[in-house]
Amino acid sequence: MKRQILSLAAVACLVGLTSTAAAQSNSGSITATALVQQPINVSGAVNLSFGNVFPGVNKAVLLTDAGAGRFDVTGQASTPVNLAFTALPTNLANGGNNLPVSFSSGYNTSNSAAGATSFAPGSGASTSLSGTGALFVFLGGTVSPAVNQAAGTYTATVTLQVTY
């Protein structure tokens, strides 16, 4: 009986010593995530064209007119964007001669000026790209030739900046 008690005590001691010697170790994980957005692409698809104008006679091109300009925008689907015209001239130029101009603008997620939402070109706008990442920005305007406007071809550049 004594031997059994002594053996059990010895085993218990060994178990105790073993448990203190084992180092605990464990591991856990997390993920790192990121979503790289489609880059924004803005292309001048259609130039704003006033056609022939006559001295002293204003001429307007509406957003829905054939002469309206259009920018095509692509990017990350359903993502908010800011629209800003960073170059919006007050005159079209022909050498040293100027032809006063003003603009109107609108945007739509489909290529339809008729359903476009108008906004003031000088103020810009905020909207979202479509579910396929598309947006169309339409540009109209009015030229106001002077009565003594010099004949010739007048041009200027309008630049649209789109940012997330």
Partner 1 sequence: MWRRARSTPAGVVTGLCRRVVLLFCGIALWAIPGEAQRPLTVQGTRSLTFGSLLAGVNKSVLRTDLINSGQLDISGPKNVSVLLTFTLPATMAGPAGATLPLTFGSSDGGWSPPQQIGTQTGFDPRVPYTAPLDQNGKVSVFLGGTAKPTANQKAGSYTGTITLTVVVLP
Q: How far is the CB of 133 from partner 1 (least distance, A)?
A: 10
Q: How far is the CB of 33 from partner 1 (least distance, A)?
A: 5
Q: How far is the CB of 56 from partner 1 (least distance, A)?
A: 49
Rounded CA separation 118/148 (Å): 33
**Residue whose CB is less far from partner 1, 33 or 52:** 33
For 51, the token pair is: 């056609």
**Residue whose CB is less far from partner 1, 9 or 151:** 9
**Residue whose CB is less far from partner 1, 24 or 52:** 24
Q: How far is the CB of 39 from partner 1 (least distance, A)?
A: 5
Contacts 24+ apart (CB under 8 A), 21-24: none
**Residue whose CB is less far from partner 1, 3 or 86:** 3
The C-alpha torsion from 117 through 123 and 127 to 132, rounded to 10°, is 80
Closest alpha carbon to 143 in 151, 128, 154: 154
Q: How far is CA 65 from the centre of its chain?
A: 25
**Where does this chain bind partner 1 (CB under 8 A)?**
2, 6, 9-10, 12-13, 16-17, 19-20, 23-39, 76, 79, 164
